[in-house]
Amino acid sequence: MCNIGKTTLTKKVYDDYICSQFDKHAWVTIFEEYNERQMLLEIVSTITGSNQEMSDDQLMKIV
């Protein structure tokens, strides 16, 4: 199901509806092979603006 506009549609919904409904929001692109910790770090960094080192449990609690 490549190139049928899934990401484009999702990004449009995110920009037009999600961002206006929530105080905190994050857009993270995830590929077939991904690193869960890196994904959590990106989300927390977007939400908090902080890049400090945290355990996986601390990251999941914030998210």
In a domain, 52, yes or no: yes
Residue 41 domain boundaries? 28-63
Q: Cα–Cα distance between 9 and 47 in angstroms, integer?
A: 23
Instruction: Supply 60's token pair.
Output: 């999941």
Domain count of the chain?
1
In a domain, 47, yes or no: yes
> What confidence score (pLDDT) does residue 17 get?
93
Q: Which of 45, 43, 26, 25 is nearest to 34 (CA)?
A: 43
> What confidence score (pLDDT) does residue 20 get?
93
> What confidence score (pLDDT) does residue 21 get?
94
In a domain, 46, yes or no: yes
Residue 46 has pLDDT above 90, yes or no: no
> What confidence score (pLDDT) does residue 19 get?
92
| pLDDT tens digits, 48-59 | 888 888 899 999
Positive or negative, the Cα torsion across 46, 52, 53, 58?
Answer: negative
Cβ neighbors of 36 (< 8 A, separation 6 or more) are 56
| pLDDT tens digits, 3-34 | 888 989 999 999 999 999 998 888 888 888 88
